[in-house]
Structure 1
Amino acid sequence: MLSLRMSHAVGLPAPLHLNGNSSSTTSDNVNVGKPSVTGYKWRLVIAYDGTHYAGWQYQQSPPTIQCIMEKALTRITKVEREDLHLVGAGRTDAGVHAWGQVAHFVTPFNYDSLDTLHAALNGLLPSDIRVREISPAVPEFHARFSARSKIYHYKIYNDTVMDPFLRCYAYRSTYKLNPEAMKEAAKYFIGRHDFSAFANASRNDRAPNPVKNIFSLDVIEKGALLQIEVEGSGFMYRQVRNMVALLIQIGREAMPPGIVHMILASRDRKELAKYSLSAPPHGLCLVAVNYIEQHMQLPSGCPPKSLGRSHTVSKCKLPCC
């Protein structure tokens, strides 16, 4: 593994952060919960098919994305999982997919190039998990707390016969939906609201803030496919799937678009349960995470980001006949 890392020899830059003591220009809520660690920080952009995984969050059995990622990183870096401090931007649920999941981890050593690490990771990972990008990160960057917004897409297939190639990535509605009614209802979600009525009880001990800001919510028609695209400051457990489930009921014309406002105002999950259940997880995908601009700057003295290596065919050296 010597080719993957560099020792602290003369001429190498100082670690990207030391014990979390570097200065930060972020607000207090961004820094809350950051571990105090020593080493070099690296940012990952990860895509995965969540069909066969119990979500992102670490647990041994059944396997999770974090568990698989940590095993690969531990094998390559020889750093124990507790010392890697791998943190994801969002705890996607079982069966949920991602194109733009973001995570960071820490190593006690620097790299002279990230391309080899990138290739080694994807070589160890199963084919349904891919690291799309690896880049150095400044001390202030935190995959979760530096996030400004997250973008999710939910796919609904609305036709009499399901497209078999979309069966794992889109929910099939057996009822013909009215996209215009769904678009009208989507407007009620825009803005800053208390989303207590649209979140299931959290599975962790931390009490989440139910007030979220939804920047956009669009219902896009792509033939038989309806794609719901939502961007928000953050989302609670199953919030997006609960929002989608109500939009589907409204698309069925089982209730008017204005019911969204009534359920939001109730701040009561039991009120939503009267009208809809959560939409299935396989239609949901974490598409992108947007970050505080200052936290995305590359630190000095670091290797360039890796987007993966392209293989080329060398020119033929045989003489022409």
Structure 2
Amino acid sequence: MGKSLHTLTHGWQYQIKPATVQCIVGDALTKITKLGRKELGLVGASRTDAGVHAWGQVAHFTTPFFFDQLESLHAGLNGVLPPDIRVREVAAVKTDFHARYSALKKTYHYKIYNDAIMDPFQNLYAYHFAHKLNIDVMRQAAKYFIGQHDFSAFITMSRGGLPTDPRREIFRFDVVKMGANIQLEIEGSGFFYKQVRNMVALLLEIGKEAVPAEVVFDVLASCDRRTLARHCIIVPPQGLCLMSVTYATTDLETPPGSPTACYGRQPQISKCTLVYY
């Protein structure tokens, strides 16, 4: 058997060992720009967990100079990054742009392979759930998440504790069936630590008809993680993918004169869109 190229399973947030996406991209930027990690200040829009994938992660970094053109930077980064990380886009943005705090909404997909036997070609990118699912009742329950809610019951406690404001707004929650694949598409103003995977876990219990769709209301109203734990356990990370991050059009406007040289008189903020498996 050949060596798997799927090596980046330790999430986005910076740590040296085991290496994370932020660490590896930061090292690539350091090599290309000759700037230090602290000077670059690489920041991602979403702190994806270990094992979670991204098609549309967005990150920004700062340089004390302007690039004459961005093509060589783009090619250089992809030339030194491992094969399961790629920079899809590089663009100059305004100095007040922030990959995380400027985001208006994020879209995640969670893929489930719903059949008795798992397709081995999807093993790294879908969760195998063999129990037959009632798609109609899952769609009904998914609609109950839409709107602004207190998601305390769906937040897995992190080292920083619970957030001071546990409210988020869900704009869209679709359940799409494609043969044996069931794709849950969730679009919201933002998501807390493991919130999406906890929401998916409850929908699966509803889909197998272990609990009624209306249990969503009860769990949300409880504002208590222990209430959710009585119904389900969190689903694994490999089915989850960050698909896109949305910003205001004005936040993505290219500053005048970019990407031509700035003669070193002001820093250039650059945005890059990443894909990683």
State whether residues 58 and 272 of structure 2, in contact with CA within 8 Å, keep that contact through their aligned partners in structure 1.
no
Matched, 1:252 2:252: no
Q: Which runs of 5+ in 2 are unaligned?
A: 261-269
Rounded Cα–Cα distance in structure 2 between residues aligned with 1:68 and 1:216? 33
Rounded Cα–Cα distance in structure 1 between residues aligned with 2:177 and 2:44? 31
Which structure ranks higher in relative contact order (CA pairs < 8 Å, sequence separation ≥ 6)? 2
TM-score (norm 1): 0.78
Rounded Cα–Cα distance in structure 2 between residues aligned with 1:84 and 1:306? 12
Q: Which residue of 1 aligns with 2:79?
A: 123
State the Cα distance separating 1:307 from its structure 2 match.
Answer: 9.9
> In structure 2, which of residues 166, 169, 175 is the aligned counterpart of residue 219 of structure 1?
175
Rounded Cα–Cα distance in structure 2 between residues aligned with 1:133 and 1:162? 34
Matched, 1:229 2:212: no
Rounded Cα–Cα distance in structure 1 between residues aligned with 2:230 and 2:98? 39
Rounded Cα–Cα distance in structure 2 between residues aligned with 1:196 and 1:306? 32
Rounded Cα–Cα distance in structure 2 between residues aligned with 1:114 and 1:209? 39
- Tell me the SS of whatever aligns to 1:174: coil
Q: Which residue of 2 aligns with 1:63?
A: 19
State whether residues 50 and 97 of structure 1, in contact with CA within 8 Å, keep that contact through their aligned partners in structure 2.
no
Rounded Cα–Cα distance in structure 2 between residues aligned with 1:71 and 1:272? 40
Matches within 5 A, 1:1-321: 52-204=8-160, 207-303=163-259
Rounded Cα–Cα distance in structure 1 between residues aligned with 2:122 and 2:78? 25
State the Cα distance separating 1:162 from its structure 2 match.
Answer: 1.0
- The two structures, once aligned, show a CA RMSD in angstroms of 1.9
State the Cα distance separating 1:50 from its structure 2 match.
Answer: 7.3
Identity %: 56
Rounded Cα–Cα distance in structure 2 between residues aligned with 1:75 and 1:205? 36
Rounded Cα–Cα distance in structure 1 between residues aligned with 2:129 and 2:228? 19
Q: Which runs of 5+ in 1 are unaligned?
A: 1-48, 309-321
State whether residues 51 and 96 of structure 1, in contact with CA within 8 Å, keep that contact through their aligned partners in structure 2.
no
Rounded Cα–Cα distance in structure 2 between residues aligned with 1:276 and 1:100? 29
TM-score (norm 2): 0.90
Q: Which residue of 2 aligns with 1:11?
A: none
State whether residues 183 and 218 of structure 1, in contact with CA within 8 Å, keep that contact through their aligned partners in structure 2.
yes
State the Cα distance separating 1:142 from its structure 2 match.
Answer: 0.5
- Tell me the SS of whatever aligns to 1:116: helix
Question: What amino acid is aligned across from residue 248 of structure 1 in structure 2?
Answer: L
Rounded Cα–Cα distance in structure 1 between residues aligned with 2:220 and 2:69? 50
Rounded Cα–Cα distance in structure 2 between residues aligned with 1:270 and 1:53? 28
For each residue in 1:239-279, what CA deviation from the matched residue of structure 2 results, as whole angstroms up to 9, or x when unmatched? 00000000011111101000000000000000000011111
Would you say how many aligned residue pairs link Structure 1 and Structure 2? Answer: 260
State the Cα distance separating 1:161 from its structure 2 match.
Answer: 1.4
State whether residues 115 and 306 of structure 1, in contact with CA within 8 Å, keep that contact through their aligned partners in structure 2.
no
Question: What amino acid is aligned across from residue 173 of structure 2 in structure 1?
Answer: L
- Tell me the SS of whatever aligns to 1:243: helix
For each residue in 1:108-135, what CA deviation from the matched residue of structure 2 results, as whole angstroms up to 9, or x when unmatched? 1110110001000000000000000000
- Tell me the SS of whatever aligns to 2:144: helix
State whether residues 149 and 289 of structure 1, in contact with CA within 8 Å, keep that contact through their aligned partners in structure 2.
yes
